[in-house]
């Protein structure tokens, strides 16, 4: 596997949308995303971020094929991971881990010691499949449950970095 990670740019918008759509099946997302699907506000924010001179979006490529991406924001003293997706057929191949490790290096370079992430919980209280990924990557469930749209709740995770 020839995986590389690079900064995204505005021309990556469509491929990032494709990765998001192909990261989970319709059955998997049922009950975990609002009925309208991808939030227009989120897509607008992502497009704006990609148009910045130094976007906080990275793309993982297998050879020349984009297979995953991550979108993050650097706040005062922490990095918040807004979105991370890997195309379904490439999941389980350490691509998510590589994206996290890349963001950890960016955070450390900026003197940031804390990463924050989250995932959803459906109306029945079942966490999204990413819950186990975050725990596996060393993130800790804060116990906070934030009420979202359409009966969804969100779990917040944190990871302290050693600098």
| pTM: predicted TM-score of the whole model, two decimal places | 0.92
Rg, C-alpha atoms of the chain: 15
Q: Look at residue 125 in the predicted model and tell me its pLDDT.
A: 85
Q: Look at residue 151 in the predicted model and tell me its pLDDT.
A: 73
Q: Look at residue 124 in the predicted model and tell me its pLDDT.
A: 84
CB 62 within 8 A of CB 98: no
Domain containing 10 equals: 3-160
Q: Could you list the pLDDT tens digit for every one of the 163 residues in the chain? A: 699 999 999 999 999 999 999 999 888 888 877 666 667 888 899 999 999 999 999 999 999 999 999 999 998 899 999 999 999 999 999 999 999 999 999 999 999 999 999 998 888 888 999 999 999 999 999 998 888 766 778 999 999 998 7
Whole-angstrom distance, CA of residue 80 vs CA of residue 58: 14
User: DSSP class of residue 121?
Assistant: E
Q: Look at residue 138 in the predicted model and tell me its pLDDT.
A: 97
Please, what is the angle between helix 13-21 and helix 40-50, to 10°? 140
User: DSSP class of residue 8?
Assistant: -
Q: Which residues of 57-71 are buried (b: 16+ CB within 10 A; e: fewer)?
A: bbbbbbeeebbbbbb
The total number of structural domains in the chain stands at: 1
Q: Look at residue 5 in the predicted model and tell me its pLDDT.
A: 97
CATH of the domain at 34: 3.40.630.30
- Angstrom CA distances, 49 to 52, 82, 95, 155, 157, stand at 5, 12, 22, 24, 23
Phi/psi of residue 45, nearest 5 degrees: -60, -40
Q: Look at residue 131 in the predicted model and tell me its pLDDT.
A: 95
Whole-angstrom distance, CA of residue 139 vs CA of residue 159: 5
């Amino acid at each position: 596997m020839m995986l590389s990670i690079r900064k995204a740019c505005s021309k990556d918008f469509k491929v990032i949308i494709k990765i998001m759509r192909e990261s989970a099946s319709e059955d998997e997302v049922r009950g975990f995303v609002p009925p309208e699907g991808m939030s227009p506000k989120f897509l607008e924010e992502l497009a704006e971020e990609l148009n910045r001179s130094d976007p906080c979006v990275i793309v993982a490529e297998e050879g020349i094929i984009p297979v995953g991406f991550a979108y993050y924001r650097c706040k005062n003293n922490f990095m918040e991971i807004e979105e991370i997706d890997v195309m379904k057929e490439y999941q389980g191949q350490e691509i998510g881990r590589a994206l996290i490790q890349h963001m950890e290096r960016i955070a450390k370079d900026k003197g940031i010691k804390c990463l924050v992430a989250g995932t959803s919980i459906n109306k029945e209280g079942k966490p999204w499949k990413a819950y186990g990924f975050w725990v596996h990557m060393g993130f800790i469930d804060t116990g906070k449950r934030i009420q979202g749209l359409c009966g969804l709740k969100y779990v917040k995770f944190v990871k302290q970095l050693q600098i």
